[in-house]
Amino acid sequence: MEKVVLIDGHSILHRAFYGVPDLTNGEGLHTNAVYGFLNILFKILEEEQPDYLAVAFDVHAPTFRHEKYAAYKGTRKPMPEELREQVPVMKEVLHAMQIATVEKAGLEADDILGTLAKRAEADGKEITLVSGDRDLLQIATDKILVRLPKTSKGQTVIENYHTPEVIGAFGVTPSQIIDLKGLMGDSSDNIPGVPGIGPKTAAKILAEFGTVENAIAHVDEVTPPKAQNNLREFADQALLSKDLATIKTDCDLAQTWDDLKVRDFYNQESYDCFTHLGFQSFLKRFDGRMGSDDAAEETFRSIVSAEEADAWFTSLFLKRPARLGLSLLADREQLCALSLCRGEETVCLPVQGGITASYLAEQIGGLLASGLLIACMDVKKLLWHIEASEKDPLYDCGIADYLVHPLRGSYRAEEVAADYGLTQPSREQLLGKSSDRDAWEKSPEEAARFLCYEASTAFRLVPALSEKLESLGMTDLFRDIEMPLVHVLYGMEAAGIRCDREALRRYGERLNGRILQLEQEIYDLAGETFNINSPKQLGVILFEKLLLPFGKKTKTGYSTSADVLEKLKCEHPIVEKVLDYRQYTKLKSTYADGLAAFIDPRDERIHGSFHQTITATGRLSSTDPNLQNIPVRVQLGREIRKVFVPADGCVFVDADYSQIELRILAAMSGDPALIDAYHQDQDIHRITASKVFHVPFDEVTPEMRSNAKAVNFGIVYGISSFGLGNNLSISRKEAEEYIQSYFATYPGVKRFLDGLVAQGKEQGYVTSLYHRIRPIPELSSANFMQRQFGERVAMNSPIQGTAADIMKIAMIRVARRLREEKLSSRLLLQIHDELLIEAKAEEKEQVADILREEMMSAAHLAVPLEVSVKEGSDWYEAK
């Protein structure tokens, strides 16, 4: 028997929206409802294996029910904007999957589904209806199965209803569902029903009389008396309610069964849709069939002899292509293979025989020297295997797309390609999760295929990415800042930083001693021993035994997050001890124990990784290890820097921008009073305190200065009165007065910040001084808290982004000066607003001068950039 599956589009999309956490793709488009819908769809398809499939949608227009009863569905809240924007996307995905969608003005999806279901039943087909709405239960029969997905314990489960299951669950037959609603009404659809008649009374009446009409005809026999009186008074309303609840099953629909026939879901168009939306987990369903343009693959070939390689490279110099796309399989130590695309042909060159890594490096270097543009997804990875300077024509497609889509988070070739109408198989499809070296050893053929695809993609992406960067005004940012910085970061990674193993061991012992001491102090204050690392046990101690406030109990126990503990610091000394304990245990595991694993035994240096495409604001991040987040709350945390030492004959020279974000705020806002405050070359926080609290500069107290400092830095981050009040342990009203007084003192700042929020709402993004964009999808959210967060992002991102851009410019300029003046000193680290250089002892004064000059002149703002420079025999001393 042929099977038909019919799906209630809006209902399932709505359920998915509230059942799946918020997701966005690289463009900031919300995708959680679409993702959840597809998960349910795939589950249904696997279980049902239908021959015919359709998804019905409501049309945003009045229906025949509104004509009968104007208040129909009048109490429903508007659809959240984050869900509304996903409806057309969902339809696009379904069309790409060749799944029929049906909608008609004047009808609801239920009417379409009911009509198709009854038509199918009459044609002898087996039918499954999928909806989150119990209204469709009236359609259930022995041949029509109604399936209602619901979320239980984080999993999607589906309730199944034929006629017996409806009777068992509701005490009425499917056809009596409409009579049930006629009597009791339906608040979700604003169907009035009969006042005073609820589900139990309605079921009892129908068990005796069968229908609303029969109950009205025998109203004198209805019990209890109250229900009898109400049914008599509201008989017309009961009949209207039944009519409103009745699904129309004889609609005039043009669709034929051939229109609804199941076709190939997994085609090139749907592959492109999933890739564009960031649904990587769904791509495995294509079983490697997509992203593989056979015509393109015919141009992929491997070159395995030195003679053939020589001939191919010679042809490049004779017949110069517009550019080359390049991809490589390699780690920092070993190059396995390299692929090059010149447009009409893509080749893979494995490192074997006469084709050595040095041979390939020499050829690529020669091509760059000749001025031929080479594009790849990750230029820094290439720099580990070739010699190139920032003047060489290299093009990083990953970084280019990061500037366009800074929220994407991942910039693999297949993800970037999808945004520009290009496709290629994902790395997981061809190589699984293997490392580059393992992938080459396991399957050279598949690895070569992947390389050729990636090189071809890089070749084809350049025009589209360049056009997009130009349209957004970010060509200079890409060319003059981000691309030169790649070379600087490679130099920092290659140089590494020396770590004293013995000092690290001693540091670990000190931490361990302090941890044991804190444990005992916490036990003494608690009056018993317990597992401090267990939030559940800690919560019992704090909120049940010690009776501290702010205890919020959940299913798993009390929250003991850092935010909660910070609020409790003044309530009991145990809280401060617990916070310190957490800091020290993190220091022990992450740094004292963790750093040793990263020390290269060949040079006793840590060669970490610096990333340009992680943060949405443009700030750099570091991994293996992460040196950006060294805890500085406690003195012993800051002392981890003592284990980092310069090479023999060298010292560390450390330079730090002073209040760079506040200075940028002054410059970008153009506020005369704030700009003048910086030109006075006095303590900015004391000046602000003097103005905000209306006291002479010399009479500002330490507390006033501290509060003004909190306001100064809080304003940069769009802090609320609630947040400032928490930070200063003052009332929200008092904090609001501080903020208002600040804005009265610096009105230009208020206008500037309000303008940024307005810009974000109008354009969907804000920009730094260097035109770096930061999309803010939260500003269009229907959720108030999300919008508030979006406003804070709008206020801070241009400032933080500009600070990041200035720091990058400074890094580039400092590295150039060191190179131009032929110094042996090396830039090692960038941590937030700080640069660390390992300087030869005899070069330290020259290095200090370079740092001051280049960092202070990295940008010319309305206020001066100030730089503090220190030196030391370890990083702690230099800092």
The pLDDT value recorded for residue 276 is 81
Tens digit of each residue's pLDDT (9 = 90 or more) over 416-433: 887 787 777 888 888 888
Among 347-361, 609-623, 634-648, the range scoring the smallest mean pLDDT is: 634-648
Residue-level pLDDT at 287: 61
- The DSSP line for 796-808 is HHHHHHHHHHHHH
Per-residue pLDDT, averaged over 300-305, amounts to: 92
How high is the mean pLDDT of the chain?
90
- What was the pLDDT predicted at 112? 94
**Residue 224 burial by Cβ neighbours in a 10 Å radius (0-12, 13-18, 19+):** exposed
User: Which whole-number Å values give the CA distances from 621 to 398, 497, 716, 757, 769, in the listed order?
Assistant: 16, 16, 21, 26, 21
Cβ–Cβ under 8 Å, residues 90 and 792: no
The span from the CA of 692 to the CA of 743, in Å, is 9
Band (564; pLDDT cuts 50, 70, 90): confident
For residue 747, cis peptide bond before it (omega within 30 degrees of 0)? no
Q: Is residue 296 over pLDDT 80?
A: no
pLDDT at 294 exceeding the cut of 50: no
- How far is Cα 175 from Cα 349, in angstroms, rounded to an integer? 70
Task: Report which of 714, 819, 135 is spatially closest to residue 484, judged by C-alpha positions.
Answer: 819
Task: Give the pLDDT band (50/70/90) at residue 52.
Answer: very high
Measured between alpha carbons, how far is residue 25 from residues 278, 408, 418, 464, 640 in Å? 6, 6, 12, 19, 38
Tell me the pLDDT tens digit for each residue of 825-853: 999 999 989 999 999 999 999 999 999 99
| DSSP per position, 356-424 | -HHHHHHHHHHHHHTT--EEES-HHHHHTTS---TTS-EEEHHHHHHHH-TT-----HHHHHHTTT---
Residue 632: band (very low, low, confident or very high) from pLDDT cuts 50, 70, 90:
low
Instruction: Give the pLDDT band (50/70/90) at residue 282.
Output: confident
Amino acid at 302: S
Q: Exposure of 200 by Cβ count < 10 A (0-12 exposed, 13-18 middle, 19+ buried)?
A: exposed
Which secondary structure element, helix H or strand E, spans residue 624, and what is its range? none
Pairing mode, if any, of strands 609-611 and 100-102? unpaired
* CA distance linking residue 165 with residue 144, whole number of Å: 12
CA distance 295 to 456: 13
The C-alpha atoms of residue 824 and residue 467 are separated, in whole angstroms, by 40
Cis peptide bond prior to 224, omega within 30° of 0: yes
Element (DSSP H or E) covering residue 560? none
Instruction: Return the bridge partners of 829, or none.
Output: 836
Q: What is the pLDDT of residues 87-136, one digit of tens each?
A: 999 999 999 999 999 999 888 899 999 999 999 999 999 999 999 888 89
State yes or no: pLDDT of 293 exceeds 60: no
pLDDT at 151: 61
- What does the pLDDT read at residue 298? 45
Dist. CA 835–CA 491, nearest whole Å: 14
pLDDT of residue 781: 82
- 766 by DSSP, 3-state: which? strand
Sign of CA dihedral 835, 840, 841, 842: negative
**Residue 286: pLDDT over 80:** no
Read off the pLDDT of each residue in 349-367 and give the average, rounded to a whole number: 94
- Residue 295 binned pLDDT confidence (cut-offs 50, 70, 90): very low
- Rounded to an integer, the average pLDDT of 733-745 is 86
Percent of the chain with pLDDT over 70: 97
CA–CA separation, 441 and 876 (whole Å): 44
Q: How many helical (H) and strand (E) elements, i.e. helices and strands, does the chain have?
A: 39, 25
The model's confidence at residue 364, banded by pLDDT at 50, 70 and 90, is very high
- One DSSP character per residue, 296-311 reads HHTTEEE--SHHHHHH
What is the DSSP-derived secondary structure letter of residue 77?
P
Tell me which of 322-331, 640-649, 700-709 is least confident.
700-709
Can you give the pTM of this predicted structure?
Answer: 0.74
Provide the residue type at 318 as one letter.
L
